[in-house]
Amino acid sequence: MSQPGRQAIDWLSLPTMRPVAWWRDALRLWRRAPIRWVIACVLVIAFEAPFQLIPYAGVALSKVIGSLLGIGAYAVMDELVRNGRFRWRELFWSLRPRNFPAALVLAMVNLSLLAFDALAAFTAYGHAGVDRAIFGNFAQHPELATDRFSLVVLLPGFVPITLLMFAAPLVVLGGVSPLKAVAWSVRWLASRPAAFAITLGIWWVLVAMALTHKWLFLLVLPWGGAQVYAAYVDVFGRDAPPTREGLPPSPSPSP
């Protein structure tokens, strides 16, 4: 209990706790439509999963498809926050002709992150690790069907994923070109190591928990997306209208 005459400290308002506040705000956003977020997550997985069955190229194709649909989640979140409506059609924001080129560039950037997965898999498991993680030859390496293998491959990839987390909302909501969005995102997070480390650490904990209980991914993935949206609003603001309603002037990163 606080002493009389003393004002209670809001710990999440402290600069170093800013990333934790993003996850708190994201949870509030997720709770506005929890069932629909789970359904949206299932839809994305259902769209990309069949591509993983394609020999050699399946993992890469599924990553591109997942990226294109995942980008649209920020348009869904923005509509929910602004107008209180969960519009399913916004999930396919990337597939609109005027949006597709920028979305495809972002998807290719995300695809390049497979290099981190490949490096982690090769370092820990050699060619067999790369064959399973990158080329999707699951049946040939049943001994690698473990949670430990998934952790070794996935967790290093969250380093660049975290550095790039502002790129998609900057494109979808801010009207920024994809390459400029990538540069802004990396610059902001690389210059704030505490925010980067806390965000990355929380991601690592959540992914590790989800790997032991796979159904948790249906909660972790939309919550993580909402965290990126909350962080974007905090850092870059949302005063300009979304790009789907008309391109606003490009925002400048706040200090």
Residue 242 makes CB contacts below 8 A (sequence gap 6+) with: 75, 78, 79, 82, 172, 173
223 SS3 class: helix
Residue 20 makes CB contacts below 8 A (sequence gap 6+) with: 12, 198, 202
- Tokens 């391109």 belong to 247
Cα angle value 175/36/167 (rounded, 5°): 25
Q: What is the pLDDT along the chain (255 residues), one digit of tens a residue?
A: 444 444 444 545 555 678 899 999 999 999 999 999 999 988 888 888 888 878 888 888 888 888 888 899 999 999 999 888 999 999 899 989 999 999 989 888 888 888 888 889 899 899 898 888 888 887 788 888 888 888 888 899 899 999 999 999 999 998 899 999 999 999 999 999 999 999 999 999 999 999 888 888 889 999 999 999 999 998 888 654 344 333 334 444 444
